[in-house]
Amino acid sequence: MKKTAIIYLSKTGFTKKYAQWTAEESGADIIPFSEAKKRRDKILTEYDSVVFGSRLIGGTINGLSKAKKLFYTGKIPFAVFVTGATPIDAQDTAPTLKKMWEQNFTPAELDSIPHFYMQSGLSYENMPFIEKQMMNAFKSMLKKKKGAEGISEGMAEVLGSSFDNSDKKFAAPLIQWIKG
C-alpha cells in the first residue's frame, strides 16, 4: 500500500484537526512540520507522497517556501492544503482564493502541485499574543479600507470573535487525492 506523510503547521489547532481527519480516512501518517524538517531525507525515502498542510496568514501560506524547498523535489508527488477563516460561501471568495493561490505559487507550480482550501475559523483563545495584535491591526485597517489585499469581505465580516466553520467534508477532495 502507498504511504503518504501529512506534514502540518498549526498554531491554533485547525490545521492539525484537518490533518488528523485526513489521516484517519486515508491511512496517511501525520508529522508536525518542526519534526519533519529534521527527518527530511528519511521522509523522502520512506513515503510515496508528501502533503503539506498549513494556515493562511495575511494571504500567505505559512511555511510554504521552506516546505517547497524541502519536499517539492520532483521525486515524489507533493500536495498542499491550507486552512483559513475565509468562508467558502461568501460572494467574493472565489476571486480571493484564486489570487491567494497565484500569490503563493508560480503558474508552473499551480499546474503540478495539487492544492486544496479548507475553511476553518478563528481561535482567539489559542492565538499567540503577537497574532492577536496582528488581528487587531487587520480589523482597524479593514474598517478604514474595505477589501484589503488577500482578505475577502466575507472574512472581514467574521473577524470579530472566535468561530469554527471547519467540517470533515472540506477534507474530502484531499482524501480522494491521497487514496488515488
To which residue does cell 479593514 refer?
A: 142
DSSP H/E element including 4: strand 4-8
* CB 100, CB 149: distance < 8 Å: no
Of 44-52, 56-64, 106-114, 167-175: span binding ligand FMN (CB under 6 A): 56-64
Is residue 174 a contact point for ligand FMN (CB under 6 A)? no
CB of 77 to ligand FMN, least distance (A): 23
Is residue 97 a contact point for ligand FMN (CB under 6 A)? no
Is residue 158 a contact point for ligand FMN (CB under 6 A)? no
Find the binder of ligand FMN among 4, 86, 93, 104 (CB under 6 A): 86
CB of 80 to ligand FMN, least distance (A): 14
φ, ψ at 169 (rounded to 5°): -60, -25
Find the binder of ligand FMN among 4, 14, 113, 170 (CB under 6 A): 14
Find the binder of ligand FMN among 49, 64, 81, 84 (CB under 6 A): 84
In this structure, which long-range contacts are made by residues 151-154, counting pairs with CB atoms below 8 Å and at least 24 apart in sequence?
Answer: 151/58, 151/59, 151/86, 151/96, 152/86, 152/90, 152/92, 152/93, 152/96, 153/90, 153/91, 153/92, 154/86, 154/87, 154/89, 154/90, 154/91, 154/92, 154/93, 154/96
CB of 113 to ligand FMN, least distance (A): 19
State the CB neighbour count (10 A cutoff) for residue 4.
Answer: 25
CB of 115 to ligand FMN, least distance (A): 14
Find the binder of ligand FMN among 44, 90, 135, 142 (CB under 6 A): 135
The x, y and z cell numbers of residue 121, run together, are 475559523
Is 112 or 137 the residue whose CB approaches ligand FMN more closely? Answer: 137
Binding site for ligand FMN (CB under 6 A): 10-16, 55-59, 83-86, 120-122, 127, 131, 134-135, 150-151, 155
